[in-house]
Amino acid sequence: MMKLFPWFASSRLAELAAQTPASRDRYVDFLRAFSITVVVIGHWISTVVLLGDNGIKVYNAVGAIPGTWVTTWVLQVMPLFFFVGGFSNLVSLDAFKRRGEPVSAFLRTRAVRLLKPTSIFLGVWFFIFILLTLVFKVETQVAKASILVLGPLWFLSVYLIVTFVAPLMRELHRRYRVWILVILIVLTILVDILHFWVKIPAVRWANIAFVWFFVHQLGFFYADGSLTRAPKRAHIAMTLGSLGCLLVLTNIGVYPKSMVGTGLEQVSNMNPPTVCIVVLTCWLVGAAMLLRDPLNRWLARQRPWMTVILANSMIMTLYLWHLTAYAIAFMLFYLIGFGCKAVGTPLWWLQRPVWIVVSAVILMGILRIFARFERPARRKNP
């Protein structure tokens, strides 16, 4: 994989790996790369695109294939990304404070890291939209459907807000600790009650803030050592207790069993998030803590750690462009008549690896072009 990116030579990766301080939590970098990789592959496997007389229809195969909802309890790992974000933001804020730098410097650094690859992504797609609508005069439905590739931007907007509020949440964490988590859980449950039982649907969007702030805030407890100092039995209780709670919640007739939006259900646990995502987060974080020690031993080896470094160097580009790669693959397959419309059949499953491989090849080409712009400028030695 490293040979595909000549602008990031193996020697440079080896140098960065050798320079990694012993104090660095490599597991955090692994979780970041792992979560985004799972999201990408999950989208490639489950996204169904149908082009017919009424335009393009897109939905998630989980909603059409019975029993596949169970995979979302393991593979809906976006909460892990926000959890890791909480860890990173607290560690960075503390580092800026130790150096005597203002909070504005932290916010500026974080904004540049997020918005630089995003501005390039938006610029390219703005040009594509112009070509589709004004030059090639494509059908309106096709032009509108191309907006689907902008789906990853929901994450950016929410994550950017959470990051900009991180300095305030850090102070609240220092002062009130676990009470902030409790308040956010209570607010999430209150919103769900107002939505599902009092029938005030508009209020449900408040959980975008409450749920993702909770997940991000939980990352603070990893950063300050609270989660790592907890005994193994606490991690086991967190994991099994959350899993049991999730089983109960998804069988009371209110919440769907799937942890992803399928486009085929009236209610989604993810958009906007419900209390199920809070419980899912606790289950995933508990499991992650149980796996931390063996995976850290594996990450101590040079090759795995170099791969993690490479993945993190282009993580935003990978996430932003993966649906573009899938859209290109769809157009190629549509032109040659490849594909199975009967979702969930043996033929449909047999074709999934082809979709993944072709989308991955296209994404690698996109990364070779755009990933270099995500990497921070390398400081020159005086």
Residue 284 located in a structural domain: yes
| pLDDT for res 79 | 96
Q: Cβ distance 146 to 58 under 8 Å?
A: no
| pLDDT for res 381 | 40
Instruction: Kindly report the number of other CB atoms within 10 A of residue 142's CB atom.
Output: 15
Residue 76 located in a structural domain: yes
Residue 153 located in a structural domain: yes
- The SS3 assignment for 152 reads coil
| pLDDT for res 57 | 76
- φ/ψ (deg, to 5) at 56: -100, 135
**Pairwise CA distance, residues 211 & 76, whole Å:** 15
Listed in sequence order, the DSSP H helices in the chain are 10-18, 26-46, 69-75, 78-98, 103-130, 140-145, 153-176, 178-196, 207-223, 226-229, 232-249, 275-299, 302-312, 315-336, 346-370
* Average confidence (pLDDT) per 10 residues, the chain, 382 residues: 56 82 93 95 89 72 92 95 96 94 94 92 88 66 65 87 96 96 98 95 95 98 96 97 96 94 84 96 97 95 92 93 92 86 90 95 93 66 37
User: Taking Cα atoms as reference points, which of 105, 32, 108, 79 lies closest to residue 216?
Assistant: 79
CA angle 39, 295, 86 (to 5 degrees): 55
| pLDDT for res 299 | 95
User: Token match 């899938």: residue?
Assistant: 326
- For the question of whether the overall pTM of this predicted structure is more than 0.85, the answer is yes
Residue 98 located in a structural domain: yes
Residue 154 located in a structural domain: yes
User: Taking Cα atoms as reference points, which of 162, 109, 161 lies closest to residue 376?
Assistant: 109
CA angle 112, 92, 110 (to 5 degrees): 10
For helices 207-223 and 275-299, the axis angle rounded to 10 degrees is 30
Residue 3 located in a structural domain: no
329 Cβ contact list (under 8 Å, min separation 6):
355, 358, 359, 362
The whole domain housing 241 covers 46-300
Residue 22 located in a structural domain: no
| Total number of domains in the chain | 1
**Pairwise CA distance, residues 228 & 296, whole Å:** 13
User: Taking Cα atoms as reference points, which of 350, 331, 317 lies closest to residue 136?
Assistant: 331
Residue 6 located in a structural domain: no
